[in-house]
Structure 1
Amino acid sequence: MAEKEESGEAGEDKTELQIIKELVDELYTFRDCYFETHGVEEAVRKDGDVKQKMEQTLKKLEEKEDGLKHKAEFLLQKGRCLNVAADFSADAEECLSQAVKLDPRLVEAWNILGDQYWKKGDLIASKNCFTGALQREKNKVSLRNLSMLLRQLPAASDDEHGKHVLESVDLARDAVQLDLSDGTSWCILGNAYLSMFFLCGQNPQFSQQALSAYAKSAADRIASSTPDLHFNRANLFHYEELFGCALEGYSRAAALDPNWKEPPEKEKQLLEHLDKVTELTRNKGKVKTRRLRTMLSSLNTSALGPCSSPQFSSPSGRVGSLEPRPLSSLAQGHNAGVAAMGKVVFSLASQGHVAFTFGMVDSEETCMAVMVYNTANSWGVLIGDSVVIPEPNVKRHLIEHKDKSYDFKSIRVDSPLLLFVNGKKQNVQSQIPTSISYQGH
């Protein structure tokens, strides 16, 4: 008889725990799906509303605490409730530490405790929590958290950092495989591929894999309202010269988190850069007609330098001399077997250091912008320099954003080492691999 009574009490206790868990689930739904019940114009209130909802939930939990036998699971839910906020909570750390001492099998408690250590800045303790959780059960939260953490751990060498990034990609892939519908895991895989892209010589395959992962994340109802996703994807769009998509992403990130200063600043910088590039290209760098003609009078095939040799090896691997072609005759995309040649009429060091941009005018007085990536800070070209671009890659940009519109062509050059300036190849010190930061993890 006593056994039955005890079993009945445990059942009631379980029901109470279920109610407590549902209260905390409701809090997380409120946070994660905030924009399903509020307009984006209310984004500035989100953090305050979530905090208020957390305090209300906490009060309800504490009312149910007395008499509960499943103390560890209660502490897990209380710690989870406190963890909903972005900042470190000493109370959450205390609850979760007690929960894992009482029941070390609570994988979720280990994961949230790892989150708290991370917020506190103790990355090693955080890593130990996620690793410990994985030893108990393979789960997507520990996998993706470890993926994020590995990319933030200090590394003693480039090799060690490289190993961290490679491992982080594998962990993020494993997390996605456990739940293909989880947009947060897809976002973290996108960030891992983004790191891989810049680590492995900017292999376009990794850029495309990052964009594909971000697209799957953006299709998820919860992940799509995360400002980090839109900001990180916009940074990659910017690098890939998908300027309209980049502007839209910065704008969306800014709308979702009005207190975050970086997205609107990036949007403003990119718009200002596009304004300058289009204006300076249109008026040929404001160089006076007489001076421009004097500059162009000295432009001749001697500027081709090594490109005129039958033994010249193009970036594409083609061997043979290149034929100089006017800018107006270049097709969009890769122009095999030809060279663009002109005089520099303006230069702009890009804010945000994405590309060094200059304008060149050819013998027909056509002006086009040239965007050079992976340049050292000390590298540049001067007005009046002769520049030759082997097998130029031409892009046309048609951009509509808010009240702005742009329509211009440019040539993308992935390294200054691919250019010839005044007949000379650029030295290796002119190139430094670009990296772009991403927000969050």
Structure 2
Amino acid sequence: MFQKILIANRGEIALRVLRACKELGIQTVVVHSTADADAMHVRLADESVCIGPPPSRDSYLNIHQIVAACEITGADAVHPGYGFLSENAKFADILAAHNITFIGPSGDHIRIMGDKIEAKRTAKRLGIPVVPGSDGAVTDQKEARRIAAEIGYPVIIKASAGGGGRGMKVALTEADLEIALQTASTEAGAAFGDDAVYIEKYLEKPRHIEVQVFGDGFGRGVHFGERDCSLQRRHQKVWEEAPSPALNAEERARIGGICAKAIADLSYSGAGTIEFLYENGEFYFIEMNTRLQVEHPVTEAITGIDLVHEQIRVASGGGLSVKQEDIKFNGHAIECRINAEDPRTFTPSPGTITHFHTPGGLGIRVDSGVYSGYKIPPYYDSLIGKLIVHGRNRVECMMRLRRALDEFVVDGIKTTLPLFRDLVGNADIANGDYDIHWLEKYLAKED
């Protein structure tokens, strides 16, 4: 087991990893920008190192400074959390060159899954169902028209190196295709430094289903069930739940088994999430995230397994602590992402939190690094906390969520709490009857 882990992140995820390390008796080091000097994870860590000014490129994305912090403090491993350098293959390679363990997959696996075209090819080879579309990058209009005609309209053009909805355009007809291709390619080049795009069949009312997987790096893989992340705004997840209200036990076992086998065949190490669009009983691979997800707590709630403990164990060479038959699913869990944003316009709302009170009681968990008097800096993601609620079934979970949202108080800034209070009383949400477009349509009607 590791002696000392450096946590290369900030906010609630840095605190989440820190708590896991403390439970395992591992010393902790956190890095921080000057803007985060008063952050909760900095206060609670055994050691802290300031690595630069507020801009991420000068601090949380500064590989040189983070490696230097490891060497100064004697950290023998780095947990990257999510975002920032968590899916940076170069970072993983540099740590390995310095004999520091990256708590995550190999640089090669990060590279494969970070390239959306190569990821799709790999998924297909591993027996994972994929969305019909181009086998690689599409370079001209003639080829694009041929592929679109073959798979049928509507189609979606996506950035090969993309994510977060950037470099994505829908073409409903052939007349839309030329401008969609050009726009997506231009956006991709500007956002990712790579203008390569590919084409897929556009599914009109799918759900977003993701499967949590783990590999030991030596040919063993397991899955921890699925999460439903269909409630999204601009391709950003807002509300996640497990298990999905849309799947039955047979579908759950089928897609979970496919994903676990794929991870084993890939000799993948650590946590990963294989993401799908799901429509009319069929799953279609869209991407794989080679890191811990924001929404991992709902999986922990229904399995009782600490996924960060599992990450650390695997990275230290201890292998998986469970076999597939040991993983049982109990009840239902929902996570709401609480952001420092206007609940209608979603404009960021940095500032000082004057009062912060979290709900409690059976089945309630709040992951947050903020506190009363904390000043939210304007430089980073607006996520300030996650409310996770667990119940014996979805009905009980929804009832408990309603009560927890009523208890949650954040004063001094605007947050998305009012949005969730609206959603929990909506009939479609109560019935689990929604797709990836539902929330944006709902918000448009409200306006």
Pair in the same fold by TM > 0.5: no
Q: Which has the higher contact order (CA 8 A, sep 6+)?
A: 2
Q: Which has the higher helix share?
A: 1
Q: Which has the higher strand share?
A: 2
